[in-house]
């Protein structure tokens, strides 16, 4: 049985995707789940959220103890996929599958292998499925309940393979025109990738084992990155965009028609990630989630109180993601 893989994805950058995944991963661990946080973005932003530069350099120079280290021998034709190298965190329930700038060299292989799958080329299927194999290996090593995957903001071959490896997708958005346009690009692309991979699975060579990813890419919902607040309400400049997100998500991502719910009652709305202003730099410096900041990290007075308040916020958001995964699994 495979472990659920949840990708956090939007082809529009600057929507807080990596920060969201980072906090959800820590909260899942806080709530008792065993989690692998996997960095499949060649920019390795998630890795830099967990580790400082010296720690990252040690991983990269020490035989690439990263996702690329597991792929490299296979990529070079020296053997099969290696085992995933997992980096521990301060919570034994949470581990990191570190990213690597050299992962970008895998892009060409992934791109050229996609059409070759239609010709029944076995190695091409293995290349497209490499991420899935490594993620499930990481989950098995850690006895994980969930794998959370960070990907870059693009619709390229690396992300296509990462989404093929994913059962669910959480989509962070910002209340602006660019995020709405991003949903218009993202939704049809996900449906197209799902359809194309389904065609490849249906026509795969009989000699291939049944461990290929299903590529379901089920959209769990969206999380709104909230802009600056005034009197606990989004400033009016952004409210109109927030009101349009439910309809755009429903039509572009879910492919459904009909009247959309309002932004306050949309079942696809998993939650909002507020603008935490001065708390976020403190958390980044301490390399810990906001809700674990202490006075030793510089969270004093009102900052400490605000940091503690975020615990319930992220707990509720994480519970909705977990409930969505469980509901989807029970309906299979």
Q: Which domains occur in the chain, in start order?
A: 5-276+311-327 (3.40.50.300)
Q: What is the pTM of this model?
A: 0.94
Rounded distance, CA 98 to CA 172, Å? 22
The per-residue pLDDT for range 272-300, each reduced to its tens digit, is 888 777 888 888 899 999 999 988 988 88
Least confident of 17-21, 68-72, 188-192, 255-259: 255-259
Cα(134)–Cα(84) distance, integer angstroms: 6
Q: What is the pLDDT of residues 175-202, one digit of tens each?
A: 888 888 999 999 999 999 999 999 999 9
- Residue indicated by tokens 């202003």: 277
Q: Is residue 142 within 8 Å of 86, Cβ to Cβ?
A: yes
Higher pLDDT, 158 or 16: 158
pLDDT over 50 at 251, yes or no: yes
Query: Per-residue pLDDT averaged across 313-323, rounded?
Result: 96
Cα Rg of the chain (Å, integer): 20
Cβ-in-10-Å burial (0-12, 13-18, 19+) of 220 comes to buried
């Amino acid at each position: 049985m495979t472990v659920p893989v949840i990708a956090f994805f939007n082809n529009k950058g600057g929507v807080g995707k990596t920060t969201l995944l980072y906090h959800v991963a820590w909260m899942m661990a806080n709530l008792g789940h065993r989690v692998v946080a996997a960095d499949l973005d060649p920019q390795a932003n998630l890795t830099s959220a967990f580790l400082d530069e010296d720690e990252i350099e040690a991983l990269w120079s020490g035989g690439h103890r990263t996702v690329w280290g597991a792929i490299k021998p296979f990529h070079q034709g020296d053997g099969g996929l290696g085992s995933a190298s997992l980096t521990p965190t301060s919570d034994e329930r949470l581990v990191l599958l570190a990213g690597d700038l050299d992962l970008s060299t895998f892009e060409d292989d992934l791109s050229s292998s996609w059409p070759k799958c239609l010709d029944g080329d076995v190695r091409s299927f293995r290349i497209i499925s490499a991420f899935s194999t490594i993620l499930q290996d990481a989950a098995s090593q850690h006895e994980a309940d969930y794998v959370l995957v960070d990907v870059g903001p693009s619709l390229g071959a690396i992300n296509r393979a990462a989404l093929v490896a994913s059962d669910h997708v959480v989509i962070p958005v910002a209340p602006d025109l660019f995020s709405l346009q991003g949903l218009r690009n993202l939704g049809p692309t996900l449906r197209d990738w799902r359809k194309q991979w389904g065609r490849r699975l249906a026509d795969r060579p009989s000699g291939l084992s049944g461990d290929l990813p299903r590529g379901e890419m089920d959209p769990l919902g969206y999380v709104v990155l909230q802009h600056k607040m005034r009197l606990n309400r989004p400033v009016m400049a952004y409210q109109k965009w927030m009101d349009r997100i439910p309809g755009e998500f429903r039509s572009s991502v879910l492919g459904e028609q009909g009247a959309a719910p309002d932004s306050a009652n949309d079942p696809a709305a998993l939650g909002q990630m507020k603008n935490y202003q001065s708390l976020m730099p403190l958390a980044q410096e301490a390399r810990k989630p906001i809700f674990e900041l202490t006075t030793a990290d510089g969270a004093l007075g009102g900052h400490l109180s605000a940091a503690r308040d975020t615990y319930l916020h992220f707990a509720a958001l994480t519970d909705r993601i977990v409930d969505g995964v469980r509901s989807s699994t029970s309906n299979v």
